[in-house]
Amino acid sequence: MARIIHCIRHAQGVHNLSYSNHDIPDPSLTPFGERQCHDIVTKFPYHDQVELVVTSPLRRTVHTALLGFAPAVTRGVQIFALPSLQEASTLPCDTGSDLSILQTEFQDTVADLALVDAGWQVKDNSSLTSDALLARAEKTRQWLLARPENHIVVVSHGCFLHFLTDDWSDSINAQATGWANTEFRSYELSSDSAGTRIRETPESRSRRGLSSCETQTDEQRLLQRANTLDTWKTWGIVSG
């Protein structure tokens, strides 16, 4: 059976309201973002198939996972916080809270922080190079592929989702991401001698108004990736 991962960007956070809010450390969801999470409950079509939910440990992603995937939680599905899913930026809004703060905030929830170590949120320029982020994405895909579950929800962030899915469509814009808040896409995850391979499912592409057949070649994808990363370097999103 193919490993399917359903990737979703977090709901609207306070930092999404204005660029000045990017200085807010680990911001919470807005009231509208909370409503978006409730919409996930009704609009996400695979709740009954989900076997595991994995989320970035930032507050907005954990809350998105808890609220948006309540049907899976009710069935006893686990929610793990995985540090490698955190955002690709050193901005305050993209820097997570100390583990002790997270443990206090989520102590009465099913969010499992066992994989989150003290200091997990500390990032420097060396961890935000293109090569480092591509390596982090590959390591995350390997972790997902090693899991026994076949349908996994992954809640992450706009920039890092491009690295995780190796899908660079619409990535060069004012938001530096082609992912809308609470947008979800489904991918088949596999591996070969070169490493992991990830491809969006025909159903997911059709849902986005694209041809159900993959038309982009590997060469085109690599060129698009290189163009995006070169642009993001000039914008200061990734380091050299």
Evaluate whether 65 touches 44 at the Cβ level (below 8 Å).
no
What is the DSSP-derived secondary structure letter of residue 55? E
H or E stretch at 159: helix 158-165
pLDDT of residue 213: 83
Q: Is residue 88 part of a domain?
A: yes
* 9-25 pLDDT tens trace: 999 999 999 999 999 99
d(CA 171, CA 237): 12
* 113-162 pLDDT tens trace: 999 999 999 998 899 999 999 999 999 999 999 999 999 999 999 999 99
Split into its structural domains, the chain has a count of: 1
pLDDT at 240 > cutoff 90: no
Q: Is residue 240 part of a domain?
A: no
pLDDT of residue 1: 58
Q: Which domain holds residue 102?
A: 3-235
Locate the DSSP E strands across the chain.
3-9, 52-55, 79-81, 111-112, 151-156, 184-192, 195-200
* 37-66 pLDDT tens trace: 999 999 999 999 999 999 999 999 999 999
pLDDT of residue 218: 87
Assign 189 to helix, strand or coil.
strand
d(CA 78, CA 205): 28
Q: Is residue 18 part of a domain?
A: yes
d(CA 44, CA 47): 7
Q: Is residue 103 part of a domain?
A: yes
| C-alpha pair distances (Å), 30 with each of 90, 97, 98, 110, 218 | 22, 18, 21, 21, 38
Q: Is residue 28 part of a domain?
A: yes
